[in-house]
């Protein structure tokens, strides 16, 4: 009898243990997404409306250096050394490269010897001319050759005294098109130096309507396309119509402060220009954004019954104070969650405690 009850109790316990084990599978206590969906989160909302505002003009741009110069030796020669490789920062007056002195000396000596021989020959021809043995034209032709050799000689002598390539401004060597041992001509472009500190230029493209609402001297803010990037103040210094961009042929240049070359050349930026442009638009508080990267962002709305949180992607425009313009993604009558949104995920249950 005791054995019967012992086996009966054992078989009754097994289904209970299986139930506990199966219920516990897949739940390690870290699945916060399910909890955030099932729990009713208290939120505050506001109705989206359109407002008439003096809006800044927001456009994309690319950073260019304020100063950009081609590098070249004053005289011909053979490259003996490059002291400042591409990417290095230099100061005005620094020696960037050097022509080979041995090569310059050889040219100078060879030209000097050729000049001495030509002068000696010219003296002999002068005597023949006086005797009437040669014509005036023959003498003048040889005299021109001698003068040409004289120019070569003094050019080589000048090159030997000035074999250096000096930095024309503070900046950074962008590139070299030569290497050690290459032969170069005087004035030949062999490299480039750029200066993006303390100021740089952002060149932007815009639509026709925006173009005619900005003016030279308008204040602007330049911000790299990075979520944590700091803004840099500047102003519009020029505007023009260019055929380079078929869709956005209207351009403007913004000069901005760039200490230390913080924004490098070629960086894509957003430029906020404070032009005179009045428009009806959607404005939302900047702190309701749950995600922001350049012109893209995301917010939470409520569904039609006010029971669930709906994640919505939005395209952002310029900021006005502590609010930001929404170009696309929100419409008049949408219910925006303005408080309590930090703990939500798409589909979270919500309890609206206050509506504005």
pTM, rounded to two decimals: 0.56
Give a yes or no: residue 244 inside a domain. Answer: yes
Q: Average per-residue pLDDT in the chain? A: 85
pLDDT, average across residues 12-16? 45
Give a yes or no: residue 82 inside a domain. Answer: no
Indicate whether 107 and 46 sit together in one domain.
Answer: no
Q: 74 has which bridge partners?
A: none
Of 41-50, 51-60, 173-182, give the lowest mean pLDDT range: 51-60
Give a yes or no: residue 20 inside a domain. Answer: no
Rg from Cα positions in the chain: 38
Residue 7 has pLDDT above 70, yes or no: no
Indicate whether 246 and 286 sit together in one domain.
Answer: no
pLDDT > 90: what percent of the chain? 44
CA atoms within 13 A on the CB side of 354: 5
Residue 264 has pLDDT above 70, yes or no: yes
Indicate whether 265 and 285 sit together in one domain.
Answer: no
Q: Which helix (H) or strand (E) holds 139?
A: helix 136-161
Indicate whether 273 and 284 sit together in one domain.
Answer: no
* CA pair distance 63, 195, nearest whole angstrom: 12
CATH classification at residue 268: 2.40.30.170
* CA pair distance 275, 53, nearest whole angstrom: 12
pLDDT for res 35: 62
pLDDT > 70: what percent of the chain? 88
Number of domains in the chain: 3
Domain limit, last residue, from 278, 299, 325: 278
pLDDT for res 26: 42
Neighbours of 115 (CB within 10 A): 19
pLDDT for res 279: 83
Give a yes or no: residue 4 inside a domain. Answer: no
Residue 244 has pLDDT above 80, yes or no: no
pLDDT, average across residues 287-311? 93
CATH classification at residue 312: 2.40.420.20
Residue 16 has pLDDT above 70, yes or no: no
Between 193 and 20, residue with greater pLDDT? 193
Indicate whether 326 and 348 sit together in one domain.
Answer: yes
Give a yes or no: residue 120 inside a domain. Answer: yes
CATH classification at residue 132: 1.10.287
Between 334 and 225, residue with greater pLDDT? 334
Domain limit, last residue, from 263, 278, 293: 278
pLDDT for res 144: 92
Indicate whether 200 and 273 sit together in one domain.
Answer: yes
Give residue 126's domain range.
101-162
Indicate whether 218 and 284 sit together in one domain.
Answer: no
Domain limit, last residue, from 258, 278, 298: 278
Give a yes or no: residue 17 inside a domain. Answer: no
Indicate whether 107 and 138 sit together in one domain.
Answer: yes
Indicate whether 208 and 62 sit together in one domain.
Answer: yes
pLDDT tier at 71, thresholds 50, 70, 90? very high
User: Is there a cis peptide before residue 167, judged by omega within 30 degrees of 0?
Assistant: no
What Cα–Cα distance (Å) separates residue 252 from each residue in 22, 200, 208, 242, 354? Answer: 66, 14, 12, 10, 45
Residue 194 has pLDDT above 50, yes or no: yes
pLDDT, average across residues 105-129? 88
Provide the angle, in degrees to the nearest 10, between the axes of the packed helices 101-131 and 136-161: 160
pLDDT tier at 287, thresholds 50, 70, 90? very high
pLDDT tier at 33, thresholds 50, 70, 90? low
Indicate whether 220 and 255 sit together in one domain.
Answer: yes
Indicate whether 269 and 286 sit together in one domain.
Answer: no
* CA pair distance 324, 342, nearest whole angstrom: 18
Residue pair 216/171 in contact (Cβ under 8 Å)? The answer is no
Of 8-17, 118-127, 310-319, give the lowest mean pLDDT range: 8-17
Indicate whether 41 and 105 sit together in one domain.
Answer: no
Give a yes or no: residue 314 inside a domain. Answer: yes
Q: pLDDT tens digits, residue range 72-99?
A: 998 888 899 999 999 898 999 999 999 9
Residue 310 has pLDDT above 50, yes or no: yes
Between 275 and 63, residue with greater pLDDT? 63
Give a yes or no: residue 94 inside a domain. Answer: no
């Amino acid at each position: 009898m005791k054995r019967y009850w012992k086996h009966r109790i054992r078989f009754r316990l097994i289904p209970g243990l299986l139930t506990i084990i199966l219920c516990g599978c897949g739940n390690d206590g870290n699945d916060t997404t399910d909890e955030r969906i099932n729990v009713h989160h208290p939120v505050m909302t506001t109705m989206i409306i359109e407002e008439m505002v003096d809006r800044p003009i927001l456009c994309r741009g690319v950073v260019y250096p304020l100063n950009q110069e081609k590098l070249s030796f004053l005289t011909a020669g053979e490259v003996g050394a490059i002291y400042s490789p591409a990417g290095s920062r230099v100061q005005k007056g620094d020696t960037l490269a050097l022509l080979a002195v041995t090569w310059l000396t050889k040219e100078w000596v060879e030209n000097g010897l050729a000049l001495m021989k030509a002068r000696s020959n010219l003296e002999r021809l002068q005597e023949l001319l006086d005797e009437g043995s040669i014509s005036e034209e023959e003498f003048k032709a040889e005299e021109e050759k001698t003068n040409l050799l004289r120019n070569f000689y003094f050019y080589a002598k000048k090159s030997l005294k000035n074999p250096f390539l000096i930095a024309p401004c503070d900046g950074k060597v962008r590139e070299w098109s030569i290497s050690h041992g290459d032969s170069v001509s005087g004035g030949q472009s062999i490299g480039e130096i750029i200066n993006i500190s303390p100021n740089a230029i952002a060149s932007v493209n815009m639509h026709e309507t925006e173009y005619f609402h900005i003016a030279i001297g308008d204040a602007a803010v330049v911000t790299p396309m990075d979520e944590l990037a700091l803004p840099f103040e500047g102003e519009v210094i020029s505007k023009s119509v260019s055929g380079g961009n078929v869709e956005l042929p209207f351009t403007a240049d913004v000069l901005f402060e760039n200490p230390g070359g913080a924004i490098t050349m070629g960086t894509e930026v957003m430029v906020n220009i404070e032009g005179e442009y009045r428009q009806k638009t959607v404005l939302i508080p900047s702190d309701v954004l749950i995600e922001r990267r350049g012109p893209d962002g995301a917010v939470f709305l409520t569904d039609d019954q006010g029971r669930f949180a709906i994640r919505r992607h939005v395209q952002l425009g310029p900021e006005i104070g502590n609010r930001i313009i929404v170009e696309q993604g929100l419409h008049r009558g949408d219910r925006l969650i303005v408080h309590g949104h930090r703990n939500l995920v798409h589909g979270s249950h919500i309890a609206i405690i206050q509506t504005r």
